[in-house]
Amino acid sequence: MIKKIRIHLNMFNKLLIYDKKTDFFCCVAKHNLERFHSECIVWTFNNSKKMLERFIKKTTQNPDLNIEDPQAFSETSDIDILIYYKSEGNNYLIHVENKVKANEGKKKITKKLLADLDLCKDLTIAKFKETCNLKRNYLSQTEYYYLRDKSKITDRITEVLSLKNKIKTTKVIWSYVYLVPALEMTTDNSRNTWCESFDKPNPWINLSYADIFNCMPDDSDNIIFSEYKAHLEKEFISSHEGIITLKDHKVDIKNDTLSSQNLNLVLDEDEETTILDACGMQIHFLKLKDSLTKFCDDKIDEKYKFEIEFITETGNNGGYLIQAYSVIKLENPKADIFEETNPIDFRIGFQFEQNEKNKGKFKFYFADLLYEPKLIINEKTRNKSPAKTQHPTYNAAVKEILINVFTEKYLHTKRKCKKFNGSKSLSFCSFLSDYKFKNSNEIEQKFKDEILHLISRIEDKPLEKHIQLLSK
C-alpha cells in the first residue's frame, strides 16, 4: 500500500511545474547551500551502503576494492564531508571539500597557522616559505587542509568508531576530493590552488555532483532519498534553456556562452536557472582567467607581475568578479591615515563584476592586497576616543593616484568612468562604468587592452612613485 502511494506521489510530482521559490530543497538550502548539500550527501551515504561504496570506488578508481565498515560524517573539524572505511586491514579517511557555490578560500600565513601544520610548528614564516618555495603570503584552503596536523581529527573519529563499532584505529591513510557542481570538458580539470613547488603533486581528485548523482541507486524505498536525487537531477544535470552546453555531464566551453545576456539570465531571480547554469558560467570565467594568465606570462615583462583572479559569490544573489592587478609596496605608510606602520602591499588594476541582472560594472581600482579590515584609522579601530575617521583623506589621495596613473581624460572620456567610489570601511576605491559584452573574446580583449595601457603609463613613472601620496 505504501509503495502504491509513493508511486502516485512521484507521478503527481512529475506533473508539477518546477518552481524554485516553492521547491522544498531550494527553499531550505538557499541560506547555506554548501552546508545543506554536505548534510544531505552524508545522509544519503549513510542511508545507502551501495551509494557510499560506489563513491569510495569512484574516488579510489578501484572497482574491485574490498570495503568494510564505511561511514560518512558531516561538518567535522572544518571538513565538509569525511568518509571512513577499512580495506585489507588498513584504515582510510577521505576528505571531501564541497565547493558547490563559493570560491576556494585563502589562509594568510601566520605563526598561528604554522602551529596548525604538520611538521611546521617550529618554522618561521620566512623559513616555511623558503622550504616550500612559496612566493605568496597565503595558503589555499586545500593546501592548508593537506598540510595541517590531522592527529586530533583521527583521534576524534577513532573515538566515535571505537564506541560504535569497537574498532581500534592506528595509522590512517588520507585521500582528498574537491567536489564541484560541474567539471569542464578537458583532460585537466584541477581547480583547486596547489603550489607546484610542494614535494607532492596535487593530491586532490576533482569530482562533480554528476558523480554523486551517478553513485545513487536507481530505486530506493526511502522517498526522501528519491526526492533528493530528483532535486540533484534538476539542479546539477540539466541547463535552463540550454545556457550551458553539456557533453557527458561536463561543461563544453563555448565563446558565446560567456556574455552579458547569459549573466543576466543566471542572475535573474525570476528565471528558473539551475545551479549547473551558475557553475557553468564560473567555469567559463575560469577559462578566461587561464587565458589572461597565459597572456601575462607570455607577453608581459616579469617586472610588472600582473595577477589574474576570479571570484564568485560577490553579492546576495551570487555574482561574478574577474580582476587583473599589479602589486605595489608602500614602504612608509602615513601614520595619520593608517593603523599599520609597517610596509603595506597595495594592488592597482581592473575588475569586471556583476551580481545583479543588468548591473555589469567595469572598475579601475586601488586597494590593499589582503583587504585588511582595520587598515585605515576610524572610530572602530582605536580604543581611545575620539578617533576621527581618515577614510576621506585616504579616498582623496587614492582618487588622485588613479587619475595620475590612468589620466582623467582616459577615465572620464574614453572609458566613461565619471563616478568615483571611495572606501567606507576597507581600502577599496574605484572609478567605474556600466559594461556589457557579447562573448568571451570581447571581454578578454578588454582586459588585455587595459593591461597594456597601464603598462604604457607606468613605464616612465613606476607605481611606487605614484603612491607616495600615501607615504610619510
Structural domain containing residue 210: 2-236
pLDDT digits 0-9 by tens, 408-446: 999 999 999 988 999 988 999 999 999 999 999 999 999
CB contact set of 456 (below 8 Å; sequence gap of 6+) = none
Question: Does an H or E element contain 312, and which?
Answer: strand 306-312
More confident residue, 404 or 107: 404
- Reading the block at residue 119, the C-alpha cell is 611538521
pLDDT higher than threshold 80 for residue 5: no
Q: Output the pLDDT for position 12.
A: 43
The model's pLDDT over 18-49, given as tens digits with 9 standing for 90+, comes to 566 677 888 887 778 899 999 999 999 999 99
Residues 446, 447, 453, CA angle at the centre, nearest 5°?
90
Distance in angstroms (rounded) separating the CA atoms of residues 94 and 174: 6
Nearest to 277 by CA among 267, 266, 261, 264: 266
The predicted pLDDT at position 215 comes to: 97
The model's pTM: 0.85
183 and 323 assigned to the same domain: no
Domain-embedded: residue 243: no
**Domain-embedded: residue 58:** yes
318 and 413 share one domain: yes
Residue listed under C-alpha cell 578578454: 444
Q: Where does the pLDDT of residue 293 fall: very low under 50, low under 70, confident under 90, or very high at 90 and above?
A: very high
For residue 132, being part of any structural domain is answered with yes
Residue 215 domain-assigned (yes or no) = yes
Instruction: Assess if residue 349 is contained within a domain.
Output: yes
Domain boundary among 236, 271, 288: 236
Q: Side chain identity at 390, as an amino acid letter?
A: Q
**Cα(377)–Cα(392) distance, integer angstroms:** 11
pLDDT of residue 469: 94
Per cent of the chain over pLDDT 90 is 59
Residue 246 forms part of a structural domain: no
The total of structural domains in the chain comes to 2
- How does pLDDT run across 295-334, given as a tens digit for each residue? 999 999 888 889 999 988 665 456 899 999 999 999 999 9
Mean per-residue pLDDT over the chain, rounded? 87
On the question of pLDDT at 110 being above 70, the answer is yes
Specify if 289 maps to a domain: yes
Spatial separation of the C-alpha atoms in residues 376 and 426, rounded to whole Å: 7
> How sure is the predictor about 403, in pLDDT bands with cuts at 50, 70 and 90?
very high
Q: 275 and 225, same structural domain?
A: no
Q: What is the pLDDT of residue 18?
A: 56
Decide: residue 389, CB within 10 A, 0-12 exposed, 13-18 middle, 19+ buried.
Answer: middle
Residue 349's DSSP bridge partners are 325, 365
- Chain centroid to CA 132: 23
| Cβ–Cβ < 8 Å for 405, 358 | no
Tell me: do 335 and 222 sit in the same domain. Answer: no
Instruction: Give residue-wise pLDDT tens across range 213-250.
Output: 999 999 888 999 999 999 999 999 988 888 999 888 89
In angstroms, what CA-CA distances link 328 with 120, 299, 463, 467?
29, 20, 7, 8
How far is the C-alpha of 20 from the C-alpha of 69, rounded, in Å? 37
In contact, 454 and 405? CB cutoff 8 Å: yes
Pairing of strands 172-180, 250-251: unpaired
**Whether residues 219 and 290 fall in one domain:** no
